[in-house]
Structure formats: C-alpha cells, structure tokens
Amino acid sequence: MRIVYYFLVLLIVASLAKEVSAQQLKENEIVVIQGEKYVLHQVRTGETLYSISRQFRVDSQSIVEHNPQIKKGLNIGDILKIPFREEAEWQDLPASKKGDPTYFEYYTISSRRETPYFVAREFGITVEEIYAYNPEVKRFRKGTKLRIPRWEQVKDEPEKEVEVVQQREEEQERELMRYEVQPGETLYSLSKRYNISESEILFLNPGARKLKSGSVIYLPKTDSGLTSTQSPEKPFLVDQNVPLERGAFFEHTIVSGETLWSLARKYNVSEAELKRLNPMLETSFPAGAAIRVPVKEDNIGGAEPVNEDAFLKHEVRPGETLFGLAARYNMDIPEIRKFNPQLENRNLVRGETILIPRMPEEEIVPLTENMTVDSVPVEAPRFEDDYYKIEVPEIIPENCRPSGSRFFSTAEYNVALFLPLFVYTNDTLNSIPEKILAGDSLLLAEEELVEDTLVEVDEPKEIFHGFYKESENFLEFYEGVLLAVDSLQRAGMQIRLHVFDTRQNSDSIREVIHSPQFLETDLIIGPVYPQVQDEVADIAAKNRIPFISPLSSQSRKLDHNPYYFQVNPSREFLAEKTAELITDEYFNSNFVVIKTSHSGGSTEEKVIDIVREKMLGAGYLGHPQGMRFNIYDFEKEGPFGLSRIFSHEKENVVFVASMNEGDLSVVLSNINNLGEEYAITLIGSNRYEQFHSITDEFFHNLKLQYIAPYWVDYSHPETIHFLKKFREHFHIEPGNFGMQGYDVAFFFLNALKNYGKDFEECLMYQQVHLSQGNYRFEKVSRFGGYMNQGVSVISYERDFDVVRKRVIGPYRFAQR
C-alpha cells in the first residue's frame, strides 16, 4: 500500500511540474507535497545555485537533494522544489534576477578563438545565458549566428514589455510570418512541411523546443508573404518572347581575364543573349561589373537526396547569394556546391530549390577561459558519410555514348610519342670505361660524346654512370605510357606505338612528321618542349590529329590550335582558382596581402585583383560580417607592424605576393611567431614544396592551402594496382613523371577508343581513374584548343598530415 502511495505522489509531482512548465508559472508558487511545503521556483537568467540558496535561506545541498536533476548544473527554465522557510524573504526579487530579455542582438562567430567565455565577456553576459537563448547551438563554429540577450528597464508594464520584445524581433527579422501551432505538430513535422531546419526554427523561437497546440511561433516567409508550402509563381525562363524582367537569370561579376566569348561558353548561352540582358556589353566588358546571365531550363534542377531526412530544401528568394546562404547556414560555398552540382559554374536563381545538409549531431565540447587555439578540437570533415549521399542525373548525348562495336573492332590505332630521350647520348655515355669518365666529364655536351673520344684501355670495367641531362624523367614518362598501352591492349584495343627521340631540337624529327605515313597517325603525345612542339602541332592542326602537350604549362599554340590539348593548367588559371579558394571559403575573413621587394609578379597580382573584384561585386568587402582587405608592405614596415593589421576576431588569411624563396622564408618565419596569438591560414602555391630552405613546420603551423593540378590517392584500389604493376615491370617506385605518362596515355587512348578522333566534346563524360590527375578539359578561346582545369585543394594540417580537401573541376553531372 505504501508503494502505491509513493507512486501516486510521484505522479502528482510529475504532472504538476509538467503543467507548470507548460504554462506561465506563478512567481514562486507555494505547494504542499507529501505534507511538506515547497516553493516552486523557475530558474531565470543570471541565477546560480548559490544566489537561489541565499534568497530562500536554504543550503545548496538541500536544494540538490530535492532536485537531483540539477546535479550537473542549473538550466534556465528549470522548475525547482525548494523547501519552504518562513524567515525567507522569497517574495522579493534578488538583485541577480534580470527577468526575460526585452530584445536580442545578433552576432556571428568569425574565429575559432571566440569561445563561449570570450563572447560572454565581450557582451557582459554569462556563458549560461548564451546557451540558454541559443538552444540549437551545440558547438561554437566560425559562422555560427548567436542571439545576445539584452535587458531594458520596463517597470509595471508587462504588456508593454512583450510589445517591445515583439517589436525588436520584427526589426531584426523582417521576413517572418506569425504561425499558430496545430494539434499534433512537432519541430520535425514543421521543419519538413516548411523546408526549414529544426535549428532555424529554434533560432527564431527559443522557446519552441516543447511545442504545444495554440502557441504562436515565427517562421520565414517568401517574398509573396506566403509560407514555403504555398509556392510562389514559378519564374519564367528566358525566351525571346518573354519580358526580360520575368526571365530566370543569375548575376555574375566579371573578373580580370574573362571575355564575352568565355562567359558565353561557360554558361552555355549565346553572346547575343548576354548582350540582350546587359546592353552595356555592346560597348564594354569592365572587370568588377555585375551582369545577368540567363539560365537554361535543364540547368534549374539538381541532385536528389537518397535520404530525405539528411537535408532541408531551401527555396531561393530574391536577392539571395551564395555568400549569404553560406553565412546563414554556417557552411562554406564549396559545401553548398557539393550537394547542388548545378551551382558548380553559376550562382543562385530565384525560385530554385537548394539542398542544405542538416548539421550532424555533435557532442557538446566545453570551452574554458584558458583554452588556446591549439587546444580547440580539430573538426572532422562534415557531410562525408552515406547519410548525405545524393543521386545525380546523368544526361549523356547520344554521340558521347561509348560504342561497343568500336571497342571490339579490328581497327588499329597509330599513336606517336615524342620525347627527349637522348638514346644515343645515354648509350654512349654509359659505354665509356670508368677510367675515362672522371670529375665533371658527365656534363659533356652531346656533340662531344663521339666515338673518337673513346680510348682503349686494358680490361674495361662496365659501369652505369648516369643519365644525360633530364632524360631520366622522360624515360620514366615513357615507362608510364607503356603501362597504359599494355592495359588497353589486354582489354582488346589494337595500338601501334611509334616512339621518336626529339632530343631538344626540331631537326631530329622534321623528316618524320612530313612523311606520308605520319598523316595516318590517330593521336600525338608530345613533344614536351615548346620550341620543338610548334612544327608538330601545326602538322596536327592541318590534318585534324589530336595533339597532347603532356608537361608544358605555357604554349603559344593553345589559343589558336583547336586540336591542341594542354594537360598542365597555366599559372594564370591556377591564380584564378587560388582567388576562388579565398573568396569561397574565407569571404568573412581578415585577408592580409604581404608585399615584399620582389612583389609584382603577374600571377600574384591577378590573385589579389580577382579577390578584390569578387568581394566588391558581392558586397562583402568592408562589410562588418564580410572581408577585411589589407595590404602590408613588409619591406618598409618590417615584421613589427603585422599585429596592427591582424585580427583577434576573424580568421587571418595571409597571401604573400612573391615567389622569391628568400622573401618567403623571412615572411613566414615572422608570421609563424604570431601563430599562438592569432588564427592564421596561409594561402600559397604548389611551388612552395620546391623551396627546401623553408621548413615544413611553418606550412603545418600556418595551415597552408594551395591549388595543385595533381594529387595521388594512395588508398584507392586502382592506384594501388598501378603502383604494384609499375614496380613489377620496372623494379622501381614511380615518380611524378611515371604517373603523368600513364595518366596522359590512359586517358586519351580511352577517349580514342570510346569516341574516335573527334573526342573533344565528349571528354567531360569519360569516367576513368588516373593515378594522380583529375582531368577536365575546357576550350580556352573561340579558335583555340583545350586546357585541363581539374585541380585539387591541398591542405597542410596541424597534425603534420597533408590532405586533399576537395577536387575542383571534374564533372559530377551531365548537361544537355
């Protein structure tokens, strides 16, 4: 019977607490439980266990005993049972009690240094208050938006206080609609119904974690004033018969180096359409100007999620940008593009639906006053598992579908390979007896190594002396080509490989390329040196033979030869992608350009110009929540003024406008000394790895990131197979040249097999695994050839690992 009694008492207490929490609690209400008097007190902001015990004249231990749920700490809103004491002046409000905030300010975290303690100290509030009014925040991240509670003295006018709160909220969120919760609705059902995350509902309505029927919350509304379930009129697509202002388009900011033709090709529109939407283009094409670009109907839709619960769907509103969307959802722009492949090469279009991954559940990491930047836990890559998998539609033109009949045909493909192998010189060099070659004789010029220089000696000893000049690299490239040819021959492709030793001049191959037999060539790889390429490339263009430049990154022929394919991206292109890395991932950073006595290089200046143009066009340059742009003259000011322009609140993104190794060594040494005080990310070049006088420790401490055309994934099964095969055949580990030879030959021989000699427009649909490349060939000019634009973002981590953050370039979905 006693057990039943206690059970009933517990039910009464539980129901009472539930009822109290579900309705407005009377201030410090007295109740009788099991013959004992208690004061039911709701914890308010600013209160502590000590202040409550002082107010009610009860020791802290007694409060904890009667409320075991608070052993781990008080939470604002908790209902406490406090033993009643007649002597306590419990009806008087304590000095620490602030009451409900009259309004909120909004603050966005811009640096990992901004811990809860840091923010609380800055705004004069407590850490407890930060978490209480931001229930959706599990972990402080850069870009997280916080509500900062503020109190104004409003006495004896509770209704007016509510009005003040509502008025302030309306001022802060002008695009909200009032919504009355219906029976049975939950946070999850509302988030699904209105395509909004649960965390965003909680952000707009801090008290909505326990919804009840009839309560009023605020939800975002569209420009038409309707909820997201009541779709506004679908935007019209651009058509000659539709008024321009009703067409679907997005904005593009012109950057240095772009042309009207390059934009028309990039966005698959005509130059006439661009001029029609932007009359200014009839007479000028100014860098920094924002123009409208029409969108084709088949590029409105994107990917579909495999798991609907993993994403919320955001309908793009007028004026929204990728920068604003990234800031709103605490993401960077590449993360948004990852799940919306249609945005790889364009901006947002009003009315389209964008997939936004829901933040994974995270363990709350307590941050303390003494935490340093280094002690903050390293964040693992987000949204990487199958939970966030998407399905990408494949739309492959009929002429770009590999033909089975072509693959199994008896056709034989003639491939010409031109390399500076210096076969005769290497043979002569290594046939000289050991006693003849001494000192610097290995550096003899080719014409000096002739038979007349050989001296007969008794019992000559055969020995390998070395390779002539850089021929070892090209021999390794040749070995990689042989492996690719072998793989395709085993798959049934008939290949006849013709190898020509170009040395370093055109005379050695002129007779070959002008012969009638050479015109039957289906594919040309090399020569590698630009001065030897010209004649071969001209012959290839006249006879419509694909010409592959495998190693050079600069060529006079690229802009004028439509059959020219350049595998190495140009330095100008790498500069463009470096600028995009800065603007897409660090648009709200403190960007610091450091100039030295050797600054002024065209590629470095291009990075700076593009960053400035993009941020100006986006409106984020100089914006409080946007990018600060600083240029620091290291030669004049030295290292001591750096702290003047570095920021404690934002990530300091440093770009050194010089490729002089001495300058870099001095600058990075001084910046490294500031790494303990500031959050710093260094943006550099793939050529930094060649500077052996600079310790790798600097790169890791400063979290170096750069754009690189090559990266080897040693964990991929096909890469492992290639490495094993190379070792078995040549008894040596392949270097970059061996991998490049394999990739170039394997990629273009597959293209020849799948699509024939006219493969240029189908390369985007070819899916082959390469040992170190990620090819994406794009036409560079109206009458020019194609350049590989597939690159990677490489990152030096503080744990001394070097990783590839992401790949830029390879097509992830097909376009019509």
By CB neighbour count within 10 A (0-12 exposed, 13-18 middle, 19+ buried), where does 789 fall? buried
Checking if the pLDDT of 437 tops 60, the result is no
- State residue 129's pLDDT score: 76
Checking if the pLDDT of 725 tops 70, the result is yes
Element (H, E) at 116: helix 116-123
Longest dimension (CA), the chain: 120
What mean pLDDT do residues 575-591 have?
Answer: 93
- State residue 439's pLDDT score: 43
Domains of the chain, by residue range, sit at 2-83, 100-174, 180-220, 249-294, 406-421+470-568+709-783, 423-468, 571-708
Q: Which residue has the higher pLDDT, 31 or 175?
A: 31
Checking if the pLDDT of 484 tops 50, the result is yes
Q: Which of 109-123, 141-155, 197-211, 353-367 has the lowest mean pLDDT?
A: 353-367
Architecture of domain 180-220 in this structure: Roll (3.10)
- State residue 566's pLDDT score: 96
**Predicted confidence band at 575 (pLDDT cuts at 50, 70, 90)?**
very high
Query: CATH assignment of 249-294?
Result: 3.10.350.10
Q: Which runs of consecutive H residues, i.e. helices, occur in 384-470?
A: 404-407, 423-429
**Predicted confidence band at 811 (pLDDT cuts at 50, 70, 90)?**
low
**Count of residues for the chain?**
816
Q: Which residue has the higher pLDDT, 544 or 28?
A: 544
What mean pLDDT do residues 415-438 have?
Answer: 75
Q: Which residues contact 157 (CB under 8 A, 6 or more apart)?
A: none
Q: Which of 409-423, 454-468, 656-670 has the lowest mean pLDDT?
A: 454-468
Q: Mind giving me the DSSP string for 598-650?
A: T---HHHHHHHHHHHHHHHHHT-BS-TTSBEEEEEEHHHH-GGGHHHH--SSS
- pLDDT (tens digit, 9 = 90+) per residue, 562-574? 999 999 999 999 9
Q: Kindly state the DSSP code that residue 137 receives in the 8-state scheme.
A: -
- State residue 344's pLDDT score: 81
406-421+470-568+709-783 folds as Rossmann fold (3.40.50)
- State residue 668's pLDDT score: 95
Q: Which residue has the higher pLDDT, 761 or 578?
A: 578
What mean pLDDT do residues 256-272 have?
Answer: 87
Q: Which residues contact 7 (CB under 8 A, 6 or more apart)?
A: none
CA distance 309 to 287: 42
571-708 folds as Rossmann fold (3.40.50)
Q: Mind giving me the DSSP string for 259-282?
A: -HHHHHHHTT--HHHHHHH-GGGG
| Of 260, 288, 258, nearest in space to 274 by CA | 260
**Predicted confidence band at 1 (pLDDT cuts at 50, 70, 90)?**
very low
- State residue 548's pLDDT score: 96
Q: β-strand 786-788 against 652-656: which pairing, if any? A: unpaired
- State residue 436's pLDDT score: 47
Element (H, E) at 682: strand 680-683
70-74, 499-503, 738-742, range with greatest mean pLDDT: 738-742
Architecture of domain 2-83 in this structure: Roll (3.10)
- pLDDT (tens digit, 9 = 90+) per residue, 279-320? 888 888 887 777 888 886 555 667 788 888 888 888 888 778
Q: Which of 299-308, 523-532, 633-642 has the lowest mean pLDDT?
A: 299-308
**Predicted confidence band at 116 (pLDDT cuts at 50, 70, 90)?**
confident
Tell me which CATH homologous superfamily contains domain 100-174: LysM domain (3.10.350.10)
Write down the mean pLDDT value for the chain. Answer: 77
- State residue 787's pLDDT score: 95
- State residue 107's pLDDT score: 84
- State residue 46's pLDDT score: 59
In CATH terms, are 100-174 and 180-220 the same topology?
A: yes
CA distance 388 to 699: 32
Q: Are 100 and 149 a contacting pair, CB within 8 Å? A: no
% the chain with pLDDT above 70 = 74
- pLDDT (tens digit, 9 = 90+) per residue, 747-800? 999 999 999 999 998 998 888 999 998 899 999 988 999 999 999 999 999 889
Checking if the pLDDT of 48 tops 80, the result is no
What mean pLDDT do residues 365-392 have?
Answer: 59
- State the CB neighbour count (10 A cutoff) for residue 294: 21
